[in-house]
Amino acid sequence: MKKSADYPLDTRPIMGFADEYPAGFLDPLHSHARSQLSYSAAGVMSVVTETTSFMLPPYRAIWIPAGMMHEVFCRAPVSSYTLYVDPVLDRQPQRCRVFEVTELVKALIFEVGHFPPGYDLEGREGRIAGLLLEEIERMPSTPSELVMPADKRLLRVCRALIDDPADQRDIDDWAQVAGMGRRTFTRLFRHETGAGLAVWRQQVRLMAALSRLASGQPITTVAFDVGYESPSAFTAMFHRVFGMPPSAYLAQSQDPARDAGPGRIAFPGVADDDEDWGAGSLNQKDGIGL
């Protein structure tokens, strides 16, 4: 397992390497002087900043701005490519984003990841590095994220739900965990995360499901593990959100030649109702995160 400190990253504007991370790998909260691009070639990693939790499935990449504090967690083994970019060349918005990776961008990432430390800035390598940065700007974002509350009492609740998406405690129970009255809890949770607790938990369940599916777990096992009463209830919700059943998503995510997958996690037609706590309702540590 490699570390960025082991590489002469300052020798060129863009440097990187390929690496393998074992199941259970945790890189505690830290930051880099350079912007970072991590591409998952196999496996799912989670990246958590001070405000947001991201899930990075295979064949997608995450951009992390220079100086952004973050943590990395790999539930299962992960193969990845990580590039470090001089902030002077960083034209991305100063926030993390997960984005689609076309075959061209994937090939460019692989190529740059194998450049020698002293590659020719004016030659072929320099032109490839410049093209990669241009192409990254064109890649559509596919947000796979959860807004995390700043309030430590609410954060305790959110961590518990990420640790166990199938937890069936109702809103009164969670208000008690947070040490608040139900009304205060409901109002503050929506203010800090932008969603009611039921919808937020629904996002947790679907992100956990994507991670487990990408790790090769059977759909039936995933459905029960993330809190659905039956595989059919899980499949119906998955199809409603992503526009395809889990089996189709799994086949697509395992095909490196595909150019696009499910987009933003949204919940059309699902009421943001804090009373909706049924296990089969249409309602991470799956991960924390280089």
CATH of the domain at 112: 2.60.120.810
Mean pLDDT of 248-255: 67
pLDDT on residue 22: 93
Instruction: Supply the CATH number for residue 166's domain.
Output: 1.10.10.60
Cα–Cα distance for residue pair 274/73, rounded to 1 Å: 30
Domain count, the chain: 2
Same domain for 84 and 108: yes
Judged on CB neighbours under 10 Å (0-12, 13-18, 19+), 217 is: middle
> Tokens 């039956």 belong to which residue?
230
Higher pLDDT, 57 or 178: 178
What is the DSSP secondary structure assignment for residue 285, as one 8-state letter? -
Q: Is the model's pLDDT at 207 over the cut of 90?
A: no
What is the DSSP secondary structure assignment for residue 140, as one 8-state letter? P
Judged on CB neighbours under 10 Å (0-12, 13-18, 19+), 209 is: buried
Let me know if residue 264 belongs to a domain.
no
Give the distance between the most distant pair of CA atoms in the chain. 64
Let me know if residue 276 belongs to a domain.
no
State which amino acid sits at residue 161.
L
Greatest mean pLDDT among 57-61, 89-93, 139-143 lies in 57-61
Same domain for 77 and 9: yes
Let me know if residue 259 belongs to a domain.
no
Residue-range definition of the domain harbouring residue 103: 4-138
pLDDT on residue 84: 93
pLDDT class for 155, splitting at 50, 70, 90? very high
For the stretch 187-194, contacts whose Cβ atoms lie closer than 8 Å and that sit 24 or more positions apart, written own/partner, are 188/149, 188/151, 188/154, 189/149, 189/154, 189/157, 192/147, 192/149, 192/150, 192/151, 192/154, 193/146, 193/147, 193/148, 193/149, 193/154, 193/158, 194/147
Mean pLDDT of 226-236: 92
Same domain for 46 and 10: yes
Beta bridge partners of 84: 15, 36
Contacts of 68 (CB under 8 A, 6+ apart): 31, 49, 96
pLDDT on residue 7: 57
Same domain for 248 and 133: no
Same domain for 161 and 133: no
Same domain for 78 and 183: no
Same domain for 85 and 26: yes
Nearest to 238 by CA among 195, 284, 282: 282
Same domain for 157 and 101: no
Let me know if residue 268 belongs to a domain.
no
Last residue of a domain, one of 90, 110, 138: 138
Same domain for 128 and 84: yes
What torsion do the CA atoms of 202, 237, 61, 1 make, to the nearest 10 degrees? 70
Same domain for 12 and 126: yes
What is the DSSP secondary structure assignment for residue 161, as one 8-state letter? H
Let me know if residue 266 belongs to a domain.
no
Q: What is the pLDDT of residues 6-53, one digit of tens each?
A: 555 677 888 888 999 998 899 999 999 999 999 998 888 889 898 888
